[in-house]
Homo-oligomer: A and B are copies of this chain.
Amino acid sequence: MAISLRRARMIIRKALEKGREMQLKPLSVVVLDAGGHVIAFEREDGAAPGRFGIAQGKAYGSVMLGMAGTAQMARAEAQAYFMAAVNGVYGGKVIPVPGGVLVRDKKGAVIGAVGVTGDSSDNDAIAAMAGIEAAGLAGEI
């Protein structure tokens, strides 16, 4: 099962709605497929220009390692040089903090990831999960 564009849009809209509901700073949200490639992205007005790369980096590391942002952060805290080395392998595209959320299908297979950035990492992750759940999918923070 793949994440359709229709579902990716829903994830983004609902994540942004959650952000406004929680009165977060302007958010940026990306949805990647199971190969780490971009399906859809939106950056809210007022967000800093470089937010695409941060959103992508959170989601990209999640897909490529099969490990969501929280687990990546734990590894980075324990072994900073390991995550730095991983970034070398993946072209410097990994941002190992919460807000990178794995998306799984009903059998538990990873079908993509969502990356949210703009507020605190924990709030970013909450907004991502709201989007994923609204789209009827399961997320792993």
Residues of A within 8 A of B (CB): 2, 4-5, 8-9, 33-50, 52-54, 56-57, 63-67, 76-77, 79-97, 109-110
Q: Which residues of B have CB within 8 Å of A97?
A: 79, 82, 85
Is A89's CB under 8 angstroms from B95's CB? yes
Given B43, B54, B65, B94, which contacts A39 in the complex, CB threshold below 8 Å? B43
Other 9 A-B pairs with CB < 8 A, given A53-B90, A85-B95, A92-B92:
A4-B45, A5-B45, A41-B41, A48-B63, A48-B110, A53-B64, A80-B81, A82-B95, A85-B94
A54: chain B residues within 8 A (beta carbon): 65, 86, 89
CB contacts (< 8 Å) of A96 on chain B: these are 81-82, 85
With A81-B80, A89-B92, A96-B85 known as contacts, the answer to whether A43 contacts B38 (CB < 8 A) is yes
> B82, A44: Cβ atoms under 8 Å?
no
- CA separation between A33 and B38, bound complex, in Å? 16
Closest to A85 in B: B95
**In the complex, what distance in Å separates the CA atom of A82 from the CA atom of B42?**
23
Q: How far is the CB of A35 from chain B (nearest CB, A)?
A: 2
Determine the distance from Cα of A67 to Cα of B76 in the docked complex, in whole angstroms: 23
